[in-house]
Amino acid sequence: MNKELSCFKAYDVRGELGVNFNSDICYVIGCAFAEIIDPKVVILGRDVRESSPELSNSLSKGLMDQGVNVYDIGIAGTEEVYWATTHFKACGGIMVTASHNPISFNGLKMVKSQSQPLDESEFINIKKTAEKKIFSIKKNKGLLFDKCSESKIAYVNKLLTFIDVKLLPTLNIVINSGNGALGPTFDHFEKKLLKKTKNLNFIKCQHNPDPSFPNGIPNPLLKENHQINKNLVISNKADIGIAFDGDFDRCFFFDEFGVFVPGEYIVGLLAESFLLKEPGSKIIHDARVVWNIQDIVKNNNGFSIASVTGHAFIKKSMRENNAIYGGEMSAHHYFRDFSYCDSGMIPWLLIVELMGKTGKKLSELIKDRIEKFPSSGEINFTISQPKKIFEKVLKYFDGQYLSYDDFDGLSLVFKDWRFNLRSSNTEPLVRLNVESKNGSEFLNQCVTELTEILVN
């Protein structure tokens, strides 16, 4: 019986080195990707983890042994692999990364032609094929091509198409790369940008890639990392701070006071940015926190469409609706003109451009939105039997709510507030998000009431 590869998760491959993930596994995944996707060319990139070069080499060997040509773009962000897959008209792309996972982990993110996510059957078949470990080396093996420089140039040029450089205001900007993969790519981008404008001054922190992650694993979403970024903004007298995760497909915002800006409000600002450019466009968003986003989209003559949470669902909905932008409160942002893929670099460029258009600071852009639609942020509860707790919540609020849906978890809507409960796919957790139209004090009362139901 073939040993199951437990490193295959819901959407990607992720495992602990020496436990359920290693270079031999990468080799058979490379062979299996070649067999199932049948590509002629595959883009290959990697993050800065110490294990990534060896894993990348094994993956590359597996692909080439099956006759696939590999375009190696070296140390890069996940979005660079995505864009290179489209730019080079490749048949697929694979990024070796564990993003913000612990230092002992690594993994793979995979796409097919036009940077599309693998569908469920393709992903499952790659897993099953890799588990068999039966591959014959092709007579005409594939070749390895160095595309590092060409890929960087194409990526940087693409980023600049999303903004009007003349609208960028004079700002001091903290860029915290977290010692991840961003540093070298950002230097390329900065050099090109500063040829077009002198308005932006970048204060680069934790900038050099370092596989030991001396400042901790780059995960700016963690509250313990908020203070670090706040200090960087304040000590450098910056107008805005932007912090990135390890493979920089997500960025996180801190205003001029160093205050963390929750992701749902960034989705609203990015929706506004695109609707100012293309009125009447469609905006996709996840279903956890919706009122602020829907209000902004409506006020800017756009169309908002809720999607199930998760990159595959968001991208599918965007393609089906030809949506210009899709956003999740978890800081994943997707762009029609970036092959419907997520990016951590495009969002901050658009926010800075919006600051220039409006003449407002970041804190001013979100102040009214937070006051009008306060949000609890995501609160996690350890619950082993989510179905029972959902039934308990429904029973408790029976006859009180205006509407109910189970589109993505459980959502109940009341006159002045709304909440969404979702089960984690990977952990015994239930995730709660609450939003209000009646101020933060009322919001806190609602959170307290729900917490008592969930924990008792």
Catalytic residue set? 99
Quick count: other Cβ atoms within 10 Å of Cβ 402? 9
Residue 8's nearest CA partner among 426, 432, 400 is 426
Structure tokens at 165: 């450089």
How far does Cα 181 stand from its chain's mean position?
15
Q: Find tokens 């008592």 and name the residue.
A: 452
* 168: phi then psi, degrees, rounded to nearest 5: -70, 130
Q: Find tokens 């997707």 and name the residue.
A: 334
∠ CA 312-318-320 to the nearest 5 degrees? 100
Please give the Cα distance from 349 to 165 (Å, whole number): 9
Please give the Cα distance from 230 to 227 (Å, whole number): 5
Please give the Cα distance from 96 to 108 (Å, whole number): 5
Please give the Cα distance from 28 to 132 (Å, whole number): 9
Whether residue 448 contacts residue 375, with contact meaning beta carbons closer than 8 Å, is answered with: no
Please give the Cα distance from 151 to 81 (Å, whole number): 9
Q: Could you tell me the end-to-end alpha-carbon distance of the chain, in angstroms, rounded to an integer?
A: 44
Residues 6+ apart with CB under 8 A from 227: none
Structure tokens at 168: 């960028």
Q: Which residues pair with 375 in a beta bridge?
A: 435
Whether residue 302 contacts residue 293, with contact meaning beta carbons closer than 8 Å, is answered with: no
∠ CA 42-332-41 to the nearest 5 degrees? 5
What per-residue string of b and e applies to 280-307 under the rule 16 or more CB within 10 Å gives b?
ebbbbbbbbbbbbbbbbbeebebebbbb
Please give the Cα distance from 445 to 424 (Å, whole number): 25
Whether residue 42 contacts residue 33, with contact meaning beta carbons closer than 8 Å, is answered with: yes
